């Protein structure tokens, strides 16, 4: 693996933005507590700051932490706060890495990025397609963010990896939006395309097999291993414009292992952004 291509620390930064909300969760609440759990794992002495994709978090990889936004479970207010924080991170020349929260937050994030630089390509890692047109009467459900993104024209393309719950509606929606799905059945890394930039990466923690990530609301057996996810990230070479790590539910976790994995993925996504270069300049 290549080392981080950076010049001086802090001139290029990732910006951590906590989004403590789970108001659009469809089964269990608890993901609002995830940003605090991820930060605690990042700060824990159980490990160190190194990232396998290169460099050290906080030194070679510059980090600015905005803390948690004071979200209030009102769509207009929360969207406005997310919009402002993502816009500020981009204006500073940084890459926003958002700590969810449920997956509904991905829509306002990507919308703001697309408004700043134009449509992006998205790599989405998940057990679920999250393409529902209107899940249980909530068009902003955590099961619907990619339908809102695609119908709004905020993405050139969407590649979904790890899917293992593809139902009839999901297939119809994927056909409608031209989504490329790499399912778990018969999974091989060669099926994952190398995407062009600007690239946004959305990582739902239930994309991992629950044997390594039990702390999620929607446990779906048969998922990706940590090695498989690291390999598919390392495969990407395009400039990164943003990322999110979502759907950790600390109340369901075992010995903090899912929070620790989420923190590792934050470091790896930050290292990938530094290695590949940023897709936005102020």
* pLDDT for 151: 96
Residues of the chain with pLDDT under 70: 1-12, 142, 278-282
* pLDDT for 25: 72
- Beta strands across the sheet bearing 62-68: 62-68, 13-19, 95-100, 240-246, 199-204, 120-125, 155-163, 180-183
**pLDDT tens across 244-257, in order?**
999 999 999 999 99
Tokens of 264: 């590792």
* pLDDT for 35: 97
Backbone Cα Rg of the chain: 17
Domains, the chain, with CATH or none: 13-276 (3.40.800.10)
* pLDDT for 10: 36
Task: Flag whether the pTM goes above 0.75.
Answer: yes
* pLDDT for 57: 93
Secondary structure of the chain as H, E, C letters = CCCCCCCCCCCCEEEEEEECCCCCCCCCCCHHHHHHHHHHHHHCCCCCCECCCCCEECCCEEEEEEEECCCCCCHHHHHHHHHHHHHHHHHCCCEEEEEECCHHHHHHHHHHHHHHHCCEEEEEECCCCCCCCCECCECCCCCCHHHHHHHCCCEEEEEEEEECCCCHHHHHHHHHHCCEEEECCCCCHHHCCCCCCCEEEEEEHHHECCCCCCCECCCCCCCECHHHHHHHHHCCCCCEEEEEEECECHHHCCCCHHHHHHHHHHHHHHHHHHHHCECCCC
């Amino acid at each position: 693996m290549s080392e981080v291509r950076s010049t001086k620390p802090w001139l290029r930064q990732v910006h951590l933005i906590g989004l403590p909300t789970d108001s659009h969760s469809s089964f269990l609440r608890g993901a609002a507590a995830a940003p605090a759990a991820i930060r605690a794992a990042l700060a824990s002495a159980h490990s160190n700051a190194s990232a396998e994709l290169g460099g050290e978090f906080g030194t070679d990889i510059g980090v600015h932490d905005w803390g948690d936004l004071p979200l209030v479970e009102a769509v207009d207010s929360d969207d406005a706060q997310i919009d402002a924080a993502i816009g500020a991170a981009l204006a500073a020349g940084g890459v926003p890495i958002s700590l969810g929260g449920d997956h509904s937050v991905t829509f306002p994030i990507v919308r703001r990025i697309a408004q700043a630089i134009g449509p992006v390509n998205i790599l989405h890692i998940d057990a679920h397609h999250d393409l529902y047109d209107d899940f249980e009467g909530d068009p902003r459900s955590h099961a619907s963010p990619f339908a809102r993104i695609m119908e709004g024209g905020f993405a050139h393309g969407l590649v979904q990896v790890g899917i293992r719950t593809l139902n009839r509606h999901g297939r119809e929606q994927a056909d409608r939006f031209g989504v490329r799905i790499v399912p778990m059945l018969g999974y091989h890394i060669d099926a994952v395309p190398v995407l062009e930039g600007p690239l946004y990466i959305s990582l739902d923690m239930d994309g991992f097999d629950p044997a390594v990530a039990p702390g999620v609301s929607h446990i779906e057996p048969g998922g990706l291993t940590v090695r498989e996810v690291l390999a598919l990230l390392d495969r990407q070479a395009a400039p990164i414009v943003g990322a999110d790590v979502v759907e950790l539910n600390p109340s369901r976790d075992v010995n903090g292992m899912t929070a620790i994995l989420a923190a590792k993925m934050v470091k790896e996504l930050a290292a990938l952004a530094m290695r590949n270069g940023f897709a936005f300049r102020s």
